[in-house]
Structure 1
């Protein structure tokens, strides 16, 4: 009797969604259904569970699980041994809890430069907030500023996923910091761990653009939809008091999360979408509008593009899948990659498609090797067509064809602009996203005085919102007085660069990134000036202390990826609009060799760029790495030709020199110098 009821529920809901119209299995399908026992959820609803499975395993690997999978399974949904470790009087938590506390939004770190002889590691904790779309209320901004001063290192960091990172918190203070954030209507839940991470969206200040406003709302709703549900977060940090209640989320989010017509949910589980094992690895979603690539949208596991009709109303979404940045040195089976078009869904189906993609990764993602467990490797292994087929089983119907999109453009939201409601916004350039010192104090003063809201960009900058026009001069002058000059007065290299925190806190860091980036940019600027490139020329530079790619160096025009002390891989060829991956150009470069490594490339770029508008990354991609390497090997630093008398040559000789230069990918000056030197050596020898 129960089966008839649940099948009828499935059929009726599917019909309402435009999905499968019959409960009869498709005899021609390459998939089979596996039913689990149906038990009531806590809300008392009876739902059906079935999981779509390919007849053949998605991989040929032996079914095994990593140590992290076992830790998750025996943790009682992220509670133990974390609850016990927090009150054991030690400055650190156990190895098991190191993994579990990530799900709560924190990493245990060791300040390598603060270790005292004979006293072991200097343990502290980093907390990361959840800020869908980068939105920060006035109250939460002030709270985070206070916490950084009272419990942290005194600084706040803006991340490349539009969140805060609070460093330097001691274990004894964790509960106070977590509970304060929660009670200020903030959260750290889902900011780390093997769950859906912070959902990106353009840090839009526009109040008169329905598509941008919708993207922000959707980011919040998807963050709610895919947030862990077991209540462990509140048990650990608020002693079981669920301060933020489910009544605050959109009713459609609640309804669509509970729907289980096509096997996306675990019946009766405290975690209906994640189960006891959660996901194989982190899961990242980004949302944008057509043409706006301010958030590196193509680098995410899932990219959602808000599509509107002729009337400007949202009608559906283009869905892309399979992006990701992380890789491992000397492991060719790991790689960065971009999303591929998956299909289009109508507006009412967006939560269902998100659940379907998540369930596919949950059930078929690798759990034996964490280096291979991201969604991108599943897509790579299956191919996008097979991946789509399995997603559609969880979705309950076929996706519609992907709709055409305009060319992507990069927007930085820096400087002054109009919101569309009579107020202004101001995008503040923050070098490497670090708020500190007098700059931090002044921002706090202005945001508190004028009750401003804030948006965090995916490039580590702050957008101050809701500014009355009469406040403009005061805010501009106040920020410039503490070093926050308008971005147009800053070096374009600084404005377009990003770096991860790296040393001394990140346990994965092999070398410097954030602390070294300003000096690296200064050296690059001097080198560019030396070879004659304009002072206002800039391109995307990104630096990370390890290959995990937190600052997305694999999208840079010039990327530095740490591979050892003061040593980096060099990646070239990303595009200014963040739609093309960079490629590895040099496996190892000691940082003191940077000038001699880059000078040939910059000189070649200066003399052979197609136009003044061609960017360095586009030039490298157009010319090709083989040509770049040949040129670099043959490069002879140009002598001070401008200071020497000019020498005329016959037209025929000039054409010959020009032909040789083209053939050997050298400049005319290089070829002429080599020819004269060779002739001189011959003549002197003959004499």
Structure 2
């Protein structure tokens, strides 16, 4: 590492390069007046149910995506109508902590404005779907009533910061959740555009820069941060741009963090220059250095990330293009030297369902929510619990809901409600279903090429029949599905993954690590349900007959030669 030379800071976020050399999105951000654009005017346009022009890209920084109902898109086109535009609004919820007061408010907003549905995401937050343009302001102001916002829930900035959900270690969990909020509050954009557009506040003149860290063009792409505490890798730390792995000292407290950089899931089919990557651990820091190191890592990506080719703008490509040693040196020049990484061990990335008592005498119930989707009936049932529970809920990274910090006095009442409403039956599913996740997919996501959330439940039913045939129904196997290769449900580290290619067609991947430590590899390309089931039948039959004691399915597929191991993301397309 002593031979590595760092060039002068690029500072491309301040447009030291000519605009014509940058991607159109960079120019858009630069000219947006710190994310204001003409959003406020577009909201007043009643001629269309969409937001005109390029403001839809700027609205992502405000946590809002414009979408349309793709189930009716063709019919509306035939009728010469504009698409059935509506919006997705994502909440900023560091660590997934939601007080019961906030839950009731969010439920009310979803039922009034979101087609009586609500979705819990793989990054521990809420998404409202089916929001019409004239309802955006009421939703955002409703969230503000309970001190919630949607700042940086999307866009080229630091996304929602994750934190592990492990009720068996309540003090560690609470500390990590607090740190997630501290980091999130520190790294979100500081522009007043959000307050002006959504809260109606006046613009304040100042001689100081609005964005002292982000500049005028923010990050090259989204940047994801998370905190985890072994042995449970529930947040999939290796899928984060910046991950902090808590190291617990002999006194049972957090001694510091191993720092992991360069993770990311998205790829583009038929584009070998794009690929998923697992994060690399580069060293250890003490807790007092968290903010300095976070800033340093983000600065490196801000200054050296690719702003000409958006498809290669994520931090993972900066790490591979510059080299890990170079990246580490650049971070250390800004934040000081890192200590050698300390040992740790992950054994799972799943949730523990049902009741768990923590060592402080409190109780916690994790409720399985299939693919994170809640309808009106389910929202009403959970609201009954929220009205009597005096603490909070936690959204898990696996799209489930934990009723947290239940006292011994409260537990019988909540247990009775779970049984009376039928919610407790949500946990009565196969091991495979409990270890599955899917992204939203069709009909709302504009990137989806195939169904995922709507299709996975029925596909799992058919896969369950195969597993039962081979007496594998109790084996924990991670299964994830997305409607496209962008990887929102983190499919590329699952033991079995399906990514959409076209309606009814998917790529099948095998060989990921059970606790997210290894990427999987493409096994069958662009196949339908019959071929998917046939391929899995063959693999599961061999697994039942040839596996070693305690051998996970992903590990078996590699040892048995069914699939070649992926050692680095850039080689996963070989």
TM-score, normalised to structure 2, is 0.91
1:552 corresponds to which of 486, 490, 498: 490
Question: 1-side partners of 2:508 and 2:355: how far apart?
Answer: 35
Structure 2 counterpart of 1:441, from 380, 402, 405: 380
**Residue 97 of structure 1 is aligned with which of 44, 48, 55?**
55
**Which residue among 619, 640, 648 is the counterpart of 2:556?**
619
488 and 294 in structure 1: CA distance in 2 versus 1, 3 angstrom threshold: same
How many Å separate the matches in 1 of 2:450 and 2:275?
Answer: 20
Deviation (angstroms), 1:627 = 8.9
Hey, what does 2:185 align to over in structure 1? 224
RMSD: 2.4
Instruction: Describe the superposition over 1:84-121 as per-residue Cα deviations: whole angstroms up to 9, x where unpaired.
Output: 11112231112311100000001000011244433220
Q: Does 1:128 align with 2:128?
A: no
- The CA distance in 1 between the partners of 2:104 and 2:309, in whole Å, is 41
Map 1:505-516; keep pairs closer than 5 Å: 505-516=444-455
Matched ranges for 1:102-121 at <5 A: 102-115=60-73, 116=76, 117-121=79-83
Contact 1:190 1:227 in 2 (8 A): yes
1:199, 1:220 within 8 Å by CA — same for their partners in 2? Answer: yes
Residue 407 of structure 2 corresponds to 468
CA contact (8 A) 1:555 1:580 kept: yes
How far apart in 1 are the matches of 2:141 and 2:376? Answer: 26
Alignment pair present for 1:30 and 2:5: yes
Unaligned stretches of 5+ residues in structure 1: 1-26, 34-50, 55-60, 243-266, 629-687
How far apart, CA to CA, are the structure 1 residues paired with 2:451 and 2:530? 13
Residues in 1 aligned to 2:344 and 2:426: alpha-carbon distance in whole angstroms? 30
Per-residue deviation at 1:225?
A: 0.9
Report SS of the residue matched to 1:86.
helix
**Conserved? CA contact 2:10–2:304, under 8 Å:** no
Mapped partners of 1:53, 1:170: distance in 2: 39
**3-state SS of 2:345 partner:** coil
Match of 2:39 in 1: 82
- Equivalent pair of 1:189/1:233 in contact (CA under 8 Å): yes
Give 1:210 shift: 3.6
Distance in 1, matches of 2:551 and 2:29, equals: 50
Whole-angstrom CA distance in 2 between matches of 1:214 and 1:31:
36
Deviation at residue 405 of structure 1 after TM alignment: 1.8
Q: CA deviation at 1:486?
A: 5.4
Q: How far apart in 2 are the matches of 1:448 and 1:344?
A: 43
Higher relative contact order (CA 8 A, sep 6+): 2
Q: Is the 8 A contact 1:156 1:434 kept in 2?
A: yes
How far is the alpha carbon of 1:460 from its aligned partner?
0.2
Contact 2:4 2:326 in 1 (8 A): no
CA distance in 1, matches of 2:209, 2:425: 52
**Could you list the per-position Cα deviations for residues 546-605 of structure 1 after superposition, in whole angstroms to 9, with x for gaps in the alignment?**
000001111111100101111000000112222111111112211233222322112111
Whole-angstrom CA distance in 2 between matches of 1:63 and 1:346: 43
State the 1:332 CA deviation.
0.6
CA deviations over 1:375-434 (Å, ceiling 9, x no partner): 000001111101111112222x22222222234433413210124433211000111111
Distance 2:109 2:508 in 1: 38
Corresponding position of 1:609? 547
| Runs of 5+ unmatched residues, structure 2 | 13-17, 566-574
The structure number with the bigger radius of gyration is 1
* CA distance 1:604–1:29, change in 2 (3 Å): closer
Counterpart for residue 276 of structure 1: 216
Within 5 Å, give how 1:480-629 maps onto structure 2.
Answer: 480-485=419-424, 489-530=428-469, 532-611=470-549, 613-625=550-562
Deviation at 1:487, TM superposition (A): 6.5
Q: CA deviation at 1:337?
A: 1.1
Partner of 2:307 in structure 1?
A: 367
User: What is aligned with 1:317?
Assistant: 257
Q: Distance in 2 between the 1:304 and 1:273 partners?
A: 21
Distance 2:564 2:446 in 1: 38
The number of aligned residues is 551
Q: 312, 319, 322: which one pairs with 1:382?
A: 322
Q: Helix, strand or coil for the counterpart of 1:485?
A: helix
- Partner in structure 2 of residue 391 of structure 1: 331
Match of 1:197 among 159, 163, 179: 159
